[in-house]
Amino acid sequence: MQRRSKQNTSDLPLITADIGCKPTGRSKTWQRATKRHQKKNPSSALFTCGLFLLFIVAGAFLLTRDFNYVSHHPVNSNVDATKRATSQKALSQYKSLQYALANADIVALYFAASWCSMSTPVTESIEKIFSTKDGLEKRVLKPNLALGDIGLEEAEHKDLAIVYVSSDRSEKSMLEYSRWNWINIPFSSEEKSDIKRQYRTCAKVEMEDLGIEPRRYHIPTLIIIDSATQGILSTNGVDELDEYGDDVLDHWIQLQQLARSLEDKYE
């Protein structure tokens, strides 16, 4: 019988199947060839090292920045603390918000309009959760109609005040659309426009008249405010209504507690 001559396999090219196969005892040549192939192709190792370095740089960046959890924007740590406190207290300039800020722990600014079809399901959710006997209406501050929602007259302190910042076309439309326990920013008040400018939130048709470009949020938008610090707890109130339902107020209170603990930690 004719013997088959041994072939030198070290110079044979490798294919994907060869690399993935587990070598047997018949030949250790494949093991040596695979190692040589891996040494010649270090790209995967370089990619892993690069990814690791990227994580290190990102971590260092976050550690050297003062991050504002509430507004989801990094805050420059070099900004004077007094200036930062002044900006957070900006809502104090609005007389129409004083009653809500003084008598509720949390203020929900609701930007919407009766003519906006997207506002309808959100308004219905707010009404169901906060304006019915089966909901959380006992925890919501009632409007002070005697003062037209303006003033610091003491009322029974509540967990939440809902403030309607309307984009309605008339005062009649606003009053018909507003719910019984909402606090309305007066229709003809310039403060209504100023609040929209401050949060860059309005209907698209209002952008030019208000001088808002670009717009940060459209309607409907529900911005949740800590009354004490006047910092933003959430700009996603609309989505949180669907996500948390009847537990949404407790969720906002948890955000408030977290935000305050972070403020105490970094003061």
In the chain, the number of structural domains is 2
Q: Do 106 and 205 reside in the same domain of the chain?
A: yes
pLDDT digit string (tens) for 202-222? 999 999 999 999 999 999 999
Cβ–Cβ contacts within 10 Å for residue 146, how many? 8
In a domain, 183, yes or no: yes
Which tokens sit at 252? 């906002």
In a domain, 123, yes or no: yes
63: Cβ contacts below 8 Å, ≥ 6 apart: none
**Per-residue model confidence as pLDDT tens for the chain (267 residues):** 555 555 554 555 555 555 555 555 545 555 665 555 555 555 666 667 677 777 676 665 544 433 333 333 333 333 344 434 444 458 889 999 999 999 999 999 999 999 999 999 999 999 999 998 788 999 999 998 755 555 556 678 999 999 999 999 999 999 999 999 999 999 999 999 999 999 999 999 999 999 999 999 999 999 999 999 999 999 999 999 999 999 999 999 999 999 989 877 776
pTM greater than the 0.85 cutoff: no
The residues pairing with 162 across neighbouring beta strands, listed in sequence order, are 108, 182
- How does DSSP classify residue 15? -
Domain around 105 = 79-266
Between CA 15 and CA 20, with CA 16 as vertex, the angle to 5 degrees is 120
In a domain, 124, yes or no: yes
Between CA 205 and CA 214, with CA 209 as vertex, the angle to 5 degrees is 70
Pairing between β-strand 182-184 and β-strand 221-226 as defined by DSSP bridges: unpaired
